Amino acid sequence: MYPYLTYSDFLARRFDGKVQKIGVDAGFTCPNRDGTCGTGGCTFCDNRSFVPSYCRAGDGVGEQLRRGVAFFARKYPQMRFLAYFQAYSNTYAQPDVLRARYEEALAVEGVVGLVVATRPDCLPPDVVDLLAEFARRTFVQVEVGVETVHDRTLRLVNRGHDFACAVDAIRRLAGRGIAVGAHMILGLPGESPADMLDQARALAPLPIDTLKLHQLQVLRGTPMAALLAGRPELFHTFAPEEYAGLVLDYIDLLPQTVAFDRFVNVSPPALLARPGWGLKNHEFLAVLRNVAARRIHLMLQWTL
């Protein structure tokens, strides 16, 4: 039992039985890479780190999902699945192309909904109309890459949109009955822990259902790695316990209706430009629990 809503709680309120996300690479690209809003991408981006190796766009959405379903169904025959459009920007195409990919996913036996990761500037009205149409017949969640609420940081990391764009996208999606997730990064260059908590304060009034947080991982070969090498003073380096304390404060600033998907990310060590903690989410949860217990212990001593 956690003192906050988990993503499993969020799903349990919508589905009977266990539901598992299966990541797919639908072969989309990103306007911050193809020159539409920028080139080179966000300075922290390396899609190798967040697309599972079993996702191969060339295999098609249906084939990738069928493989994933077969893997889980062997062990959990009752399990159902959400197609997680994860790689790049999964609303960055014409609505008829998007429709075909989403329909292909929903046609796979056992798939009961869509989770669509995208940038906030890739949600024009006709795409939101399409997502709303799907949301009327099945579960649809859009995971919006907000990353931070500070425009100076968004500029520094070459994100190509500002926070106002994310606020607008979140409000438009929620207003159409679409579940909204936000993706945030803690530890971006130039942000102090106080700046990171300001993220939570700015998100708190928004209609967000789920939140995915993770610590900044600087990946080899990215512009972010070059910045780290040249200007290390811009980066706040966390020990896991300090990060856990920040996460507890972050949770505390958000409404209790927000479900937390995860708090850490683990990239392969070979990709990292500086050593990571190597903690998986469940291992980090043990650290989080210890830090929370220490705070409670201190508070009790104070009041005795």
Give the binding site for ligand SF4 (CB under 6 A). 30, 32-33, 41-42, 45, 47, 88-89, 119, 145
Residue 141 C-beta: closest distance to ligand SF4, Å = 17
267 to each of 50, 180, 211, 295, how far by Cα in Å? 8, 25, 19, 30
Tokens of 202: 């700015």
Q: Which is nearer to ligand SF4, 105 or 185 (CB)?
A: 185
Q: Which is nearer to ligand SF4, 86 or 210 (CB)?
A: 86
Q: Which is nearer to ligand SF4, 45 or 266 (CB)?
A: 45
Residue 123 C-beta: closest distance to ligand SF4, Å = 13
| Residue with the shortest CB distance to ligand SF4 | 41
Q: Report strand pairing: 80-85 vs 210-215.
A: unpaired
Interatomic CA distance for residues 304 and 17, integer angstroms: 44
Q: Which is nearer to ligand SF4, 113 or 120 (CB)?
A: 120
Amino acid making up residue 132: A
Q: Which is nearer to ligand SF4, 15 or 50 (CB)?
A: 50
Contact residues for 248 (Cβ-Cβ < 8 A; gap 6+): 288, 291, 292, 295
Residue 7 C-beta: closest distance to ligand SF4, Å = 21
Interatomic CA distance for residues 63 and 68, integer angstroms: 9
Residue 129 C-beta: closest distance to ligand SF4, Å = 22
In 10 A of CB 278, how many CB atoms?
11
Q: Which is nearer to ligand SF4, 119 or 212 (CB)?
A: 119
Phi, psi of 78 (to 5 degrees): -85, -5
Interatomic CA distance for residues 210 and 141, integer angstroms: 9
Q: How many CA atoms lie within 13 A of 90 on its CB side?
A: 29
Residue 48 C-beta: closest distance to ligand SF4, Å = 11
Q: Which is nearer to ligand SF4, 32 or 64 (CB)?
A: 32
> H-type helices in the chain, by residue range?
7-12, 61-75, 95-106, 125-137, 151-156, 163-175, 193-203, 223-230, 240-253, 281-303
Interatomic CA distance for residues 205 and 201, integer angstroms: 8
Residue 45 C-beta: closest distance to ligand SF4, Å = 3
Residue 157 C-beta: closest distance to ligand SF4, Å = 8
Closest to 2 measured CA to CA, from 256, 220, 264, 280: 256
Q: Which is nearer to ligand SF4, 88 or 263 (CB)?
A: 88
Residue 70 C-beta: closest distance to ligand SF4, Å = 28
